[in-house]
């Protein structure tokens, strides 16, 4: 009997060793308290190589409602995430947002988000020009539009720039002048099917641009400031007058206008029918009515023109004054 009791006690002791241990560790996948925790670590960079970091971008995590700003190196991190599907969205002023969906487990997920800069129309300059001429006999009116476009991704990212003119919903492309983001175009009134540019006064003009990713932006409305109708009248030399090769004085009628302006002279030499601009004298005072060259011109055929230019760059040009320089008549 004693031996029997000994066996019983031994069996009870041994069987107790096989009882399941308590599974109360939250890191134990077999525990009812198991709560897997994941981490999302990421970087916000520019769209193009070398993908410079974008600091201060807002990074939102859905559906958790968590949010943070990217660091100076573009980094961000969300910790302690229960397993599940998440969406991360990055936004920054002046950039197109980027987002990604990701499945999180009890591990670290590394992601990269790229923000493409939206181009910005920084400056617009509208200038009207009125050209009087001998041939064709009708005056020419045209509008020049110049704009500066900025893009944090670089001006090479600018795909197209155009202007929209409120006449028949007409648009005109602007041509790149350089890689500093300057674009221009010139539009003559005939291209608008208008008798003159006066029909555009008081009507809004906008400039639009698009980058290669497809981001489009447009400027604020701008308006023509002025169309100068008055034309300078040349007095001397004109009519292909023969002039000796001494110092030449150009003379014109004094101008009286109701707005601030300056004057500009351009002198051209005609060689085998080709016009070559020799001189340009700008910012002449508005009350001036003559100008003397500091050195004589060579023999040959020439013409000169006089411009009125206001504070906005609008202009009106005289007809051509033709003359011929010959040997000293004395």
Q: Which of 328, 321, 300 is nearest to 251 (CA)?
A: 321
Nearest to 104 by CA among 60, 44, 39, 27: 39
Per-residue pLDDT of the chain (330 residues; tens, 9 = 90+): 555 555 545 554 555 554 555 555 544 445 554 456 789 999 999 999 888 999 999 999 999 889 999 999 999 999 989 989 999 999 999 999 999 999 998 888 899 999 999 999 999 999 999 999 999 998 999 999 999 999 999 999 999 999 988 776 678 999 999 888 999 999 988 887 776 788 888 889 999 999 999 999 999 999 999 999 999 999 999 999 999 888 899 999 999 999 999 999 999 999 998 999 999 999 999 999 999 999 999 999 999 999 999 999 999 999 999 999 997 655
Bridge partners, 322 (sequence order): 303
Distance of CA 68 to the CA centre of its chain: 30
pLDDT given at position 131: 96
Q: What is the pLDDT of residue 191?
A: 82
Predicted local distance difference test score (pLDDT) of residue 11? 52
Sequence-distant (≥ 6) Cβ neighbours of residue 141 within 8 angstroms:
128, 129, 130, 131, 188, 189, 196, 197, 227
Contact 85/122 with Cβ under 8 angstroms?
no
Q: Which among 69, 74, 77 is positioned nearest to 50, based on CA atoms?
A: 74
> What's the pLDDT score for residue 269?
96
pLDDT tens across 271-330, in order?
A: 998 999 999 999 999 999 999 999 999 999 999 999 999 999 999 999 999 999 997 655
pTM of the model: 0.78
Say if domain 20-117 classifies as CATH 2.60.40.10.
yes
On the question of a common fold for 20-117 and 120-218, the answer reads yes
Residues 6+ apart with CB under 8 A from 250: 234, 236, 237, 265, 290, 291, 292, 293, 304, 306, 321
Joined tokens for residue 125: 């300059």
| pLDDT at 175 (0 to 100) | 96
CA atoms within 13 A on the CB side of 180: 7
Q: Which one of 1.10.760.10, 2.60.120.20, 2.70.50.70, 2.30.38.10 gives the CATH number of domain 234-326?
A: 2.70.50.70
Q: H-type helices in the chain, by residue range?
A: 2-16
Nearest to 283 by CA among 259, 268, 265: 265
Q: Identify the sign of the CA torsion 211, 213, 218, 219.
A: negative
What is the sign of the dihedral through the CA atoms of 292, 298, 300 and 304?
negative
Which residue in this structure is represented by tokens 């001189």?
279
* 159 φψ region: left (φ > 0), alpha (ψ -120 to 50), beta (else): alpha
**DSSP annotation of 192:** G
Q: What is the pLDDT of residue 169?
A: 61
Sketch the domain layout of the chain as residue ranges.
20-117, 120-218, 234-326
What is the per-residue pLDDT for 288?
97
CATH of 120-218, one of 3.30.70, 1.10.1660, 2.60.40, 3.40.50: 2.60.40
The whole-number pLDDT of residue 13 equals 53
């Amino acid at each position: 009997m004693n031996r029997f009791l000994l066996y019983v006690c031994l069996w009870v002791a041994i069987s107790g060793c096989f009882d399941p241990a308590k599974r109360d560790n939250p890191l134990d996948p077999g525990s009812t308290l198991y709560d897997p925790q994941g981490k999302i670590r990421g970087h916000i960079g520019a769209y193009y190589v070398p993908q410079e970091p974008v600091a201060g971008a807002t990074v939102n995590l859905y559906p958790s409602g968590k949010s943070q700003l990217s660091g100076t190196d573009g980094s961000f991190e969300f910790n302690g995430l229960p397993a599940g599907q998440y969406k991360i969205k990055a936004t920054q002023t002046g950039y197109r947002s980027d987002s990604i969906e990701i499945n999180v487990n009890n591990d670290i997920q590394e992601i990269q988000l790229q923000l493409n800069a939206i181009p910005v129309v920084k400056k617009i300059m509208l200038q009207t020009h009125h050209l009087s001429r001998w041939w064709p006999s009708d005056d020419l009116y045209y509008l020049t539009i110049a704009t500066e476009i900025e893009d944090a991704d670089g001006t090479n990212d600018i795909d197209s720039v155009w202007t929209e003119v409120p006449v028949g919903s007409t648009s005109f492309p602007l041509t790149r002048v350089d890689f500093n983001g300057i674009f221009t175009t010139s539009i003559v009134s005939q291209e608008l099917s208008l008798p003159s540019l006066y029909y555009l006064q008081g009507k809004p003009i906008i400039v639009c641009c698009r980058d290669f990713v497809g981001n489009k932006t447009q400027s604020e409305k701008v308006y023509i400031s002025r169309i100068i109708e008055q034309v300078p009248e040349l007095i001397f030399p004109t009519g292909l007058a023969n002039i000796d090769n001494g110092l030449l004085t150009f003379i014109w009628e004094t101008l009286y206008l109701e707005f601030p302006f300056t004057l500009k002279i351009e002198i051209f030499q005609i060689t085998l029918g080709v016009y070559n601009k020799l001189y340009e004298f700008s910012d002449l005072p508005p009350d001036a009515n003559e100008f003397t060259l500091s050195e004589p011109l060579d023999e040959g055929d020439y013409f000169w023109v006089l411009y009125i230019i206001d504070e906005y760059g609008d202009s009106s040009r005289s007809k051509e004054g033709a003359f011929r320089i010959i040997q000293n008549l004395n």
